[in-house]
Every structure is written in C-alpha cells, then in structure tokens.
Amino acid sequence: MDKPQKRILIIEDDLHIAEGIQLNLTLQGYEVFLSADGVSGLNQWKAMRPDLIILDIMLPGIDGLSILQSIRLEDERLPVLILSAKGDPDDRIKGLALGVDDYLAKPFNLEELLLRVERLLKRGSWGRDNGTSAVSHFDTYAFGDNRIDFKTHTARCRMGEISLTEQEVKVLKLFITHRGKPLSRDQLLQIGWGYSRKTSTRTVDNFIVRFRKYFEDDPRNPVYFKSLRSIGYLFDHTS
C-alpha cells in the first residue's frame, strides 16, 4: 500500500507567498492547506492535525509565536517551521525558546525551504514511530499539597481527587510553563483559548476562581494563583 500523503498547514497572510509555497509543496507530493490569520490557523490545526506547520510570525488576530505556544501545550512533537520577515537574532532566539524546530527569514530560497520541510517531516515521523511522548515533562506537577497528573487529567488537592477538563489542563500547563512570570489576559486568551486580542470575555477570570477553589487553602488569599493589578495573573511557584 502507498503511504498516505503528508499534510502540511501554511499559516501565512501574504497570499502570494502562501500560494507559491503551496504549489511547490504540492508538486513534491504533499497535501497542503492554507490559512491567512491566526485564529483560523489554530482552528485548522485542531481540525486536521497536520504533519508539519509553516508559520509566519506577523499575523492578523493572533501572532505566530502565540500560536506556537498554544500548539506546544498539546503537542511537542509536531514540526513547526517559522517563515518570517523578522530575521532579527532576538526573534530567532525567542522562537527557538518557545519550541520552534526551524526558522527561515524572508526572502528565502525555495530549494532550501523544500529541503528543510523534507528533513523536518522525516524527523517528525521518527518521533511518532518511536512513541516519543508529547508531554513527557508535563506528566505530573506538584506544588504545595497539590499534585496534577496530566496523563489522567486528574488532580489531588484540598478537595480530594478531582477530574480536570481538557481546557483546564491546557491552561494549567500554560501557567506552569510561565511560572513566576506574569501573564496578561490577552496572552492567556490567545495562547490558552485561541481567541484574538479583540475578544472581551470573563473566561480567564472564571478559570482563576476555579483554580483557587481547587488548589488554594484560602481562595480569598491566594498563594499560587495571584492577581496582578492592571496586568493579569501570576502562577507563583518557582521552586
């Protein structure tokens, strides 16, 4: 039997660039999909689960680095190639720190892009075939008298053993990844929920109330899930 086509998602708002890459990757035998903004890109990723993503940084709605962080909360193995006009070393370092696999600055050489895509897909297939864990360093996490099991979506806390929803797990991972660092509501909405900056919602605040109920001895005087006036929230556990 023939192997199924590798599926590639391009999240790029420059239609000329996106369609040019799509044409050349299709000629290489890949199945290629396009998305022109951050919100639809995240939705397409969730719906189709591609084998590789080519991702621009400067996007309408949600920026590429926020998309990358959102993906990494659920899947550490998916190959992601950032393709961006922002070629500054600081941007490259930031992308690599957030879990990008490769980085090409625009303008780019097409042959180099195709070779990098081929290499990333081979490496991604190796990881899946060998059962590499997507959440290995997030299997469990303990703070105070609390212990979260990300494999079973359960937690031991002052309420006993509780079940966590998928969204609760994702947001908890986001806080733990950024422990000791403030997160704005915009960051939480973009990375944790895939909402654009323009979204106005009390969702974040409601989740914080829930986490305090689960994990704080005194929810009215939180030790771990702290509010920062005019900024957002902080998960205060650095040891």
**Dihedral sign (CA 192, 193, 199, 205):** negative
Average the pLDDT over 25-30 and give the result. Answer: 96
CB 92 within 8 A of CB 115: no
**2 in a domain, yes or no?**
no
The whole model's pTM is what? 0.78
Three-class secondary structure of residue 193 per DSSP: helix
Q: Distance between CA 73 and CA 138 in Å, rounded?
A: 9
Q: Distance between CA 71 and CA 49 in Å, rounded?
A: 11
Q: Distance between CA 220 and CA 223 in Å, rounded?
A: 10
In this structure, the number of other CB atoms found within 10 A of the CB of residue 115 comes to 11
Domain boundary among 71, 102, 129: 129
How close are the terminal C-alpha atoms of the chain, in Å?
52
User: Above 90 in pLDDT, residue 12?
Assistant: yes
**1 in a domain, yes or no?**
no
**Hey, what amino acid is at 13?**
D
**153 in a domain, yes or no?**
yes
CB 107 within 8 A of CB 85: no
Taking only the tens place, the pLDDT of each residue in 121-179 is 987 655 444 444 334 456 899 999 999 999 999 999 999 999 999 999 999 999 999 99
Domain boundary among 97, 129, 161: 129
Q: Distance between CA 68 and CA 57 in Å, rounded?
A: 9
Domain count across the chain: 2
Structure tokens at 86: 């922002």
